[in-house]
Chain A
Amino acid sequence: MTSLIQGKTGEWEVVIGLEVHAQVISEAKLFSGAATAFGAEPNTQVSLVDAAMPGMLPVLNRFVVEQAVKSGLGLNARINLHSVFERKNFFYPDLPPGYQISQYLEPIVGRGTIVLDLPDGATRDVGIERLHMEQDAGKSLHDQHPSQTYIDLNRAGVTLMEIVSSPDMRSPEEAGAYVRKLRSILRYLGTCDGNMEEGSMRCDVNVSVCRPGEPFGTRTETKNVNSIRFVMQAIEVEAKRQVALLEDGGQVVQETRLFDSAKGRTRAMRSKEEAHDYRYFPDPDLLPLELDPAWVEQIRANLPELPDAKKARFMEDFGLQAYDAGVLVAERETAEFYEAVVAGKRDPKAAANWVTGEYFGALNRTGKSLDSAPVDADGLGGLLDLIADKTISGRIAKEVFDLMWETGKGAAAIVEEKGLKQITDTGAIEGILDEIIAGAPDQVAQFKSGNEKVLGWFVGQAMKATQGKANPGLVNQLLRQKLGK
C-alpha cells in the first residue's frame, strides 16, 4: 500500500527504514550484575563497572546473549556464531567510560524478515538488516539545579538491541505496522516488554523521497521517536518537508533531526550534537563472542509459537478471517485468552466476535487489562454456552455480560437471579402475540398490504412485553404464522 505524496510538480514516493532500540528483558545489565528495574531511586542500580571506576572490566551476561539470539530467531534472521564487541568512543557525562560497548562490523544477528499485517488483511515483507547488542547510557537531568546537570547512572549499561530494517517501507502506516509487529514478536519472545512510554523501545526514522520508480533520494535520520503515533507523524511531516524543499529547487541534506511532537515538525540537530568520529575498535577487554551451534538450535527448538504461525493456525483451524486472526494474535496474552475461551469446544467465530467486540470494548472502557479484568476466559465461555444452548438470546447476553463485568458473578447465576432466561415456550409467546395483534389492527392491515417493515414493530412489542426474554427466532416464526404468511 504505497501512499504517494502529491506535490506541486507531481507524485513522490516515500522511502522509510527504521532503527529500533529495544531494551532487553534481563535482571542484570549487559556487562555487570547491577539491577535493571525501571523507576528505581537515582544511582541505586550502579556497579563499579557501570560507573567506570579505574581497573573495572566488563563481563558479558550470558542470559542477554540468549535473549538476542532468541530475538534473531524470531525475526527469521541469520545468527552469526562469531560476533565482536567494539568500543564507540565519545565524551558525555552520562557515559562514564567515555565509550559505549556496541557491536559494529560483526553483529550477533544478520539478515531476517518481518511480515507486516496491513489493515486490509494483506501482508508485506520488510527486510531486517541486522540486530546487535549495545549498552544504554545513563540519564542527564538538566532540571534539578539552575546551573548544574545531575547524572543518574541506573540505566547506564542496560542492554539494548538495535534492530535495523531495510528501506522497505513506503508509508507512515507501514512503518506503524512494522513497529507494532516487531513489538509483538519481541513481546511473544519475552525479550523486550515493548513499553514505549518507559523508553523500552525507541525509534530512529530514516526517510527519503523520490519520484516513483526512480533511485532513492538523500535520507535524513530523525532520532529517538518514542511512540508509534509519533513515528507515523514524524515520517509524514519529514517527507512533506523534503518534497517541499525539492520542489522549491533545494536539496535534502543528509543529517540527524529531532521530532518536536508539540509543534508537529522535525528540526535539524545542532552540528555539535552529532559531529562525532566514534573511533570504533574491538574492545580489548572482551574476547570475540563465539556461539555453540547446538546451543542456538536448542534456543530455536524452545521458541514459542510466534504471531505469524499463530495467525495461520487460527485461520486454518478456527476459520477466522485474516483481520480478526491478526487482531487476536497481536498480543500473546490475547491469543491465549481467546484459545482459553474457545477451549476446544465452543464456536470459534462466536468467541472471536465476543473477544474482539464486547470484551475488548469493556477492557478499553474500564481501562483494565486481561490480568485485572473481572471476567476471565471461563466466565466468558460460560456466557457463550448459555447463548449456544439458547438459554439466553444474544441481546440479553450483552446485558448479562455487562452485569458480569460489574459484579464479577458468573453468567448462569446472573441469568437465574435476574430471571433473564429466554422464553421458548410457544404457548406463552403465542398468548402475548395474540394480545398485541388484537390491539393493533392498523399495523396488521399495513402488514397485509405488503409492508414487511412493520413486522419489526411487532417483534419489538413482543420483546418489550417480555423484557427481551422472548426467543427472537421463535417470535418471528410465530408472528408470520399468525399474520397469515
Chain B
Amino acid sequence: MDELTGLDLSAARDLLAKGEVSSKELTEAHVAAVAAVRPLNAFITETPDKAIEMAEASDARRAKGEAGVMEGLPIAIKDLYCTEGVLTTAGSHILDGFHPPYESTVTAKLWQAGAVMLGKTNMDEFAMGSSNMTSYYGAVENPWRRAGDNRPLVPGGSSGGSGAAVAARAALGATGTDTGGSIRQPASFCGIVGMKPTYGRCSRWGLVAFASSLDQAGPMTRSVRDAAIMLTAMAGHDPRDSTSVDRPVPDYEAALAGDVRGLKVGIPKEYRLDGMPAEIEALWQQGVDWLKAAGAEVHDISLPHTRYALPTYYIVAPAEASSNLARYDGVRYGLRVPGEDLTDMYEATRGEGFGAEVKRRVLIGTYVLSAGYYDAYYNKARRVRTLILKDFTDAFETVDVVLTPTAPSAAFAIGEKMDDPIAMYLNDVFTVPASMAGLPGISVPAGLSEDGLPLGLQLIGRAFDEETVFRVAGALESAAGFDSEPPFIAGR
C-alpha cells in the first residue's frame, strides 16, 4: 500500500502511462488507505465498489488507447459536490439521505478526464468554518501532531476532510471549495498544496452553494504539479453557470516549465499583523529570499483596504448564505421534522437540521439584509469589496504576483477557539482578500513551525493568470524542498 499511496499524483500518472501499474492496483491500494485513515474521520462516505468499477473502466479505456489527463487516478471529493446516486451531505444533518440525481459539472469533468472516486470527504457544515469542527459528521483530525504532544489537531476548514485525506496519503488529490480560504487554509494546516482558481474559472453547477459570489472549486494535492494537472481537468466554461467564464483552459502543467527570472513579486505591508507569530513572519521573509534567489524581483506594495476585507466578508458571505440556505425547508428533500403546521415544520426542521455556526451565519445574513440595515451593512460591504479589488488591480500594474503567509498560525488543537467565533474567523484574514477580489490564490507548504507543524505561503495572481501563480508556486516549492511527512500516514 505504502509504495503506491506514497506516490504523488503526477508520479502515479507516469507509472500508469508506462504500464507499470494498473488503475485497479493503484485504486485498491487507495481504497485500503481510505479504510486505514478512518481514525481521522476524513470521509463521510467511502465508495470502494464504485472506485474499483471506475478503475476497471479506466484500465479498459487505456487499453484502447484512450487516456484523459486524470486517467486512472483515485481522488477524493469534498461532500459539497453533488455526485449522482452518492450521498451528498454538505456536512449537514439537514441533507440527510440526499442522493442527487445529477453530477456536478466539476466532478463530471474529472470523471471524463479518467479520474476515479474514492469517496466523499468531511467538511465544515455548508463550508462554514475553518476547523472542520462544525460538521454534523464530527471533527476531522489532522494527521500531523505537534512535536512531543499527542493532542489531536484540526485540519483547518472547511475542506478539512480533503486536506487530511491527501496529507495522510489516502488519496492522490482531492477537490476542495474555497469561499474565504477553505482550500488554502486547510492546505497550509495539513502541509499540502491548495489552489483556489479565479472566480468563474470552474463551474459552480452542482456545488451546494454557500456564498455564490465567492464559492470556487479547486484542487488539493501534494505538489504544485499535481494541482496544475487536476485544475486542467476541473476548469472550463459551463453554460449552466452564468458566472462561469468562457475562456480557453490552458495546460497548467506546461506553465510550470518556465522560471521566475525577472518576475515581479509584491509584498503587501498590510499583511504584517500586530501579534503575528515570529515564525510566520520569518517564513514569509524566507519566501522572499527564495524567490529573490530564483531571480524574481521583490517589491513592497500596499493594499490599503486589506483590514476591511474580513469584516466585509463576514457581511457578504452570510448575506448570500442566508438566502442560499432558505431552500432547506423540509419540503422536498433531506431532513423533515414534523410540526403542528407549516411554520412549525419549518422551524423544527431548520432548528434541528442546522448546526450552531450555520444558524449564526444565517442570522447575521438575515440581519444585514433586513430593512433599515441593508445600506449600512450589505450595500456598504459591496462598495468596500470594489475597493479591495481595486487595491489588487492597482498593485498588479507593478507586480505579477503577491506573496503572503496563508494563515496567521499553524494548526490548532481540536476544541481550541471554539468559544470565540471572532478568533476562529481570524484564521481567514490572509485568504479572504483574494476571495473578495475573485483572484486566484495558492498555498504552498514552505516549512515547519517550532513545534513541527506545517506552514504555508500564499501566492495571489491576476484574474485568470493561474499560469503565473503555478510557475511561482513551483519555484517556491523547489526552493522550500518541503519533504516532511505527518506522523499519521495510511499503511504505516
- B204-217 vs A, Cβ < 8 Å mask (1 yes, 0 no): 11111101110000
Cα separation A97 to B329 with both chains bound (whole Å) = 9
Shortest Cβ distance from A283 into chain B, in angstroms? 8
Residue in B211, B342, B366 whose beta carbon sits within 8 Å of that of A284 in the complex = B211
- A96 interfacial by beta-carbon distance below 8 Å: yes
**Which residues in window 48-78 of A have CB below 8 A to B?**
48, 51-60
- B449 interfacial by beta-carbon distance below 8 Å: no
Taking CB atoms, residues of chain A closer than 8 Å to B332 are 51-53, 96
Residue in A54, A59, A60 whose beta carbon sits within 8 Å of that of B327 in the complex = A54
B323 touches A99 (CB 8 A): yes
Chain A residue with the shortest CB-CB distance to B342: A93
Taking CB atoms, residues of chain B closer than 8 Å to A60 are 242
Chain A to chain B contacts (Cβ below 8 Å), 16 pairs? A53-B332, A54-B90, A54-B208, A55-B81, A55-B209, A59-B239, A59-B240, A59-B241, A91-B326, A93-B329, A96-B327, A96-B332, A99-B326, A149-B342, A280-B374, A286-B242
A281 touches B242 (CB 8 A): no
Residues on A close to B: CB < 8 A?
48, 51-60, 87, 89, 91, 93, 96-99, 149, 151, 277, 279-281, 284-287
Chain A to chain B: the 8 pairs with minimum beta-carbon distance, closest first: A98-B326, A284-B212, A279-B369, A284-B213, A52-B327, A55-B206, A54-B208, A97-B327
Beyond A89-B323, A279-B323, 19 additional pairs, beta carbon < 8 A: A52-B332, A53-B101, A54-B100, A54-B208, A55-B204, A56-B206, A57-B205, A91-B326, A277-B370, A279-B369, A279-B374, A281-B319, A281-B323, A284-B211, A284-B212, A284-B213, A285-B209, A286-B243, A287-B243
Taking CB atoms, residues of chain A closer than 8 Å to B88 are 54
A98 touches B243 (CB 8 A): no
Cα separation A284 to B381 with both chains bound (whole Å) = 14
Shortest Cβ distance from B356 into chain A, in angstroms? 21
Taking CB atoms, residues of chain B closer than 8 Å to A279 are 322-323, 366, 369-371, 374
- Summarize B's interface: helix, strand, loop or mixed: loop
B331 touches A93 (CB 8 A): yes
B82 touches A55 (CB 8 A): yes
Cα separation A279 to B369 with both chains bound (whole Å) = 5
Taking CB atoms, residues of chain A closer than 8 Å to B231 are none
Shortest Cβ distance from A367 into chain B, in angstroms? 43
Chain A residue with the shortest CB-CB distance to B343: A91
Assign chain B's interface to a size class.
Answer: 35 or more
Chain B residue with the shortest CB-CB distance to A149: B342
Shortest Cβ distance from B172 into chain A, in angstroms? 25
A285 touches B243 (CB 8 A): yes
B242 touches A57 (CB 8 A): yes
Shortest Cβ distance from A105 into chain B, in angstroms? 11
- B350-387 vs A, Cβ < 8 Å mask (1 yes, 0 no): 00000000000000001001110010001000000000
A57 touches B241 (CB 8 A): yes
Taking CB atoms, residues of chain B closer than 8 Å to A56 are 205-206
Residues on B close to A: CB < 8 A?
81-82, 88, 90, 95, 98, 100-102, 104, 204-209, 211-213, 239-243, 319-320, 322-323, 326-327, 329, 331-333, 342, 346, 366, 369-371, 374, 378
The residue among A48, A91, A279, A285 with the most chain B CB atoms within 10 A of its own CB is A279
Taking CB atoms, residues of chain B closer than 8 Å to A93 are 329, 331, 342
Cα separation A284 to B204 with both chains bound (whole Å) = 12
A52-B332, A98-B329, A151-B331 given; A89·B369 CB < 8 A: yes
Cα separation A279 to B331 with both chains bound (whole Å) = 22
A287 touches B327 (CB 8 A): no
A97 touches B104 (CB 8 A): no
The residue among B207, B366, B369, B370 with the most chain A CB atoms within 10 A of its own CB is B369
Cα separation A277 to B369 with both chains bound (whole Å) = 9
Chain B residue with the shortest CB-CB distance to A87: B323
B208 touches A55 (CB 8 A): yes
Shortest Cβ distance from A147 into chain B, in angstroms? 10
Taking CB atoms, residues of chain B closer than 8 Å to A53 are 100-102, 332-333
B326 touches A287 (CB 8 A): no
Taking CB atoms, residues of chain A closer than 8 Å to B211 are 284
A53-B333, A98-B323, A286-B242 given; A281·B374 CB < 8 A: yes
Shortest Cβ distance from B249 into chain A, in angstroms? 20
Cα separation A280 to B374 with both chains bound (whole Å) = 9
Taking CB atoms, residues of chain B closer than 8 Å to A57 are 204-205, 240-242
Chain B residue with the shortest CB-CB distance to A88: B323
The residue among A87, A96, A281 with the most chain B CB atoms within 10 A of its own CB is A281
Taking CB atoms, residues of chain A closer than 8 Å to B320 are 281, 284
Shortest Cβ distance from B436 into chain A, in angstroms? 13
Taking CB atoms, residues of chain A closer than 8 Å to B374 are 279-281
Taking CB atoms, residues of chain B closer than 8 Å to A98 are 323, 326-327, 329
A53-B102, A96-B332 given; A281·B212 CB < 8 A: no
A281 touches B95 (CB 8 A): no
Taking CB atoms, residues of chain B closer than 8 Å to A286 are 242-243
Residue in A48, A54, A89, A97 whose beta carbon sits within 8 Å of that of B98 in the complex = A54
Taking CB atoms, residues of chain A closer than 8 Å to B101 are 48, 53
